[in-house]
Chain A
Amino acid sequence: MTWLRAAAAGALVVVALLLQVSVFPHIAWEGVVPNLALLVVVGAALTRGPQFAMTLGFAAGVLLDLAPPADHTAGRWALALLLVGYVAGRVRQDLRPGAGSVVATVAASSFLGTSVFALSGLVLGDLDVGPAIGSGGLLQVVAIAVVWDVLLTPFVLPLVMRVLERLEPATATV
C-alpha cells in the first residue's frame, strides 16, 4: 500500500510537471503559470501529514530542478517545496478541514514556496535583480503565482486529496 501510494503521488507530480511546462504556458499570465506541483504537495500535506509531504515535496522539487526547461541551481525548488510540505503538514494538525482553510493553506504555501525559491536565487547569485525586475517585479510574480494557485485549488486539491486518501484511509496503521 505504501508503494502504491508513493507511485500514485509520483504520477501526480509528473502529470503536474507536464501540465505546468507544456500546457499552461499557452494561457500564462505575465509568464507565470500555476504551480501544480506545489498544489500536489499541499494536497499530500493535508491528507497525509508533514513527513509524507516533505518527502514528496523534496522529490517533486528535484524533478522541477532537473527536468528540461530548468536551468537554475538544482535544489532550489526542492528546498522550497520541502518547506511547503513541512509547513502545510504542521498547519493541518491545528486545522479543521474545510474549503476555507484549504484555500488559506494553499495561498500561504504558494507565497512561501515562490518566495523561498526567489530568495534562494538571490542568496546564490542565480537571480540578478536588476532595475528591470526590482523587488516590485519579484513581488508581482509571487502575487500572480498565489492568485493562480488559489484559482486552481478547487479543481486540483479535491482530486489530489481523494486519490491519496483512498489509497490509504486515515485510520489505517502507518
Chain B
Amino acid sequence: MALLERPPRLPRAASEVRPTGGRERRWRTLRGVRRPDGRYSPDPRGTRSLLIALLMACATLITLDHQAGGAALDPARRVIGEVVGPAESAADAVVGPLTRIPGWFRTQDDLRDQVAGLEAENAGLRSELATADFDRNRLAELDGLTAAAEQANHALVPARVIGVGPAQSFSRTVTIDAGSRAGIEPDMTVVNGDGLVGRVLRVTSTTATVLLVIDGDSVVGGRVGSSLEAGFLRGRGVVGDDGRLDLELIDDTVVPARDDVIVTWGSEDGAPYVSGVPVGLVTQVFSNVRETTKRAVIDPFVDFSSLDLVGVVVPSGTESDRAVVEADGSLR
C-alpha cells in the first residue's frame, strides 16, 4: 500500500536510481539463485510474494462464490463445464464398456438395451407410485385424480452418469450426459428405477450437474406413505451403507412406523421435486425432547454408490436431442 501511495517521481539522473534500487534488487532476486551444486533454488522472498498473491486470489474467489449463492461464478462454471463436460463424457465412453462388459454381452444393440431398461424403469416407477398405502390415502383425499393428471404430464429424459464428485469434496454431486440440448433445466427432478436420485443444479449444453438427495445440503419435502404426514428429508453427506436420510416430521405427535414408505411431497410446478416419487423406507425413529420433533432415519431405495442410468423428469412435450419416455411408457 505504501508503494502505491508514494507520489510518482521520475529519476533525474541515472546516479539517483542506484541508491534507491531496493525495489529493483527485489525484483531481480525473484528469479532465484543457483546453488553451487547446480540445482536451481528459488528465492524465499520471491516465493513468499507469489504465495501471498495466490492466497489473495483464493480469498477473492471464495468471497465471490460465497456471496449471492455463487451467482458471480456461474458463467465461469458454465464455460468450464462446456469444455470439461464433453471430455468427461468421452472418458466415460472409454471406460464405460469395460465396466459394463457383463451387460453388453447380452445384446448387440446398446440402444435397444437402453430403451428396454428405461421402459422397465418407467413401469417400476409407476408401480412404486401405486404403493398401496399412499395411493389409498391420496384417493381418500380426493386429489388423486388431479395428481394423476399432473403425473401424466411428465416425461423422462434418459441420461447416464459420467462423472462423480470425490468424497474428499464432501459434497455428493454427479455429472450426467444430458444438458440443455436434451431439454434439461436447473431444478428438475432426477429419478431412476428405484426412486428419487436428486435434482439438477446447473446445466451446460451437453451435461448437467445433479445434487444427490444424500448430500448434506439437500432438503426434500417428504411424506409418510401410510399417514400422509409431511416432513423434511435431509441428506447426511455419506455414501455407501451409511448413506441415509433424516426425516423430521412437522407434527411431533406422529410416529412413523418401521418400513413405512416415504415419498416426495412435491413442489409447485414440480420444481425442484415432483410429487409422489418414492424415496426410501423408515428404519429407525428417534425423538428429540429439546426440539420436540421426531426424527426418522430413512434408508433410500436408490443405491448411490452404483448410479448409472437415471431419468430427468421434464414436462411432457419437451424438445430434446434424444428419445424421451412419456408417462404412458411410449417412446418419442
Contacts and interface: CB of A to CB of B under 8 A. Distances in A.
A67 B224 CA distance: 37
Q: Contact size class for A? A: 35 or more
Contacts of A82: 51, 54-55, 58
Nearest to B35: A93
A66 to B, nearest CB: 4
B286 to A, nearest CB: 10
Interface stretch (A2-10, A98-106, A127-135): A127-135
Given A76-B62, A170-B38, A170-B40, A69 B163 contact: yes
Nearest to B244: A132
A23 interface: yes
A159 B14 CA distance: 50
Nearest to A21: B163
Given A82-B55, A86-B51, A133 B238 contact: yes
A124 B55 contact: no
A78 B70 CA distance: 16
B166 A31 contact: yes
Interface string B234-277: 00111110101010000000000000000000000000000000
Contacts of B77: 66, 70, 74
Contact of B62 (A93, A124, A127): A124
Given A35-B166, A69-B209, A127-B216, A78 B57 contact: yes
Contacts, number: 202
Given A18-B91, A35-B166, A51-B47, A69 B40 contact: no
Contacts of B303: none
Q: Contact size class for B? A: 35 or more
Interface string B191-229: 000000000010010010101000111000000000000
Contacts of B80: 63, 66-68
A39 to B, nearest CB: 13
Contact of B166 (A33, A127, A128, A171): A33
Contacts of A72: 169-171
Given A31-B167, A73-B65, A133-B237, A93 B41 contact: yes
Contacts of A23: 91-92, 95
Contact of A170 (B39, B76, B85, B305): B39
A86 B55 CA distance: 11
Contacts of B64: 74-75
B211 A71 contact: yes
Given A31-B240, A141-B170, A22 B165 contact: no
Interface in A70-119: 70-79, 82, 86, 89-90, 93, 114, 117-118
Contacts of B59: 75
B130 interface: no
Interface in B82-104: 84-85, 87-88, 91-92, 95, 99
B175 A68 contact: yes
Contacts of A117: 168-170
Contacts of B62: 73-76, 79, 120, 124
Interface string A3-45: 0000000000010011111110110101111010000000000
B170 A71 contact: no
Given A26-B99, A93-B41, A124 B66 contact: yes
Contact of A69 (B54, B55, B174, B238): B174
Nearest to A76: B62
28 contacts: A21-B91, A21-B165, A22-B91, A22-B163, A26-B99, A30-B239, A33-B167, A49-B42, A51-B32, A54-B47, A62-B61, A68-B88, A68-B209, A69-B173, A71-B201, A71-B211, A74-B65, A74-B73, A120-B62, A127-B216, A128-B217, A128-B237, A130-B236, A133-B238, A137-B238, A142-B168, A145-B168, A174-B40
9 nearest CB pairs, A to B: A75-B61, A31-B167, A132-B236, A25-B164, A75-B62, A69-B165, A22-B91, A74-B65, A21-B163
Interface of A: 14, 17-23, 25-26, 28, 30-33, 35, 49-51, 54-55, 58, 61-63, 65-79, 82, 86, 89-90, 93, 114, 117-118, 120-121, 124, 126-128, 130, 132-133, 137, 141-142, 144-145, 170-171, 174
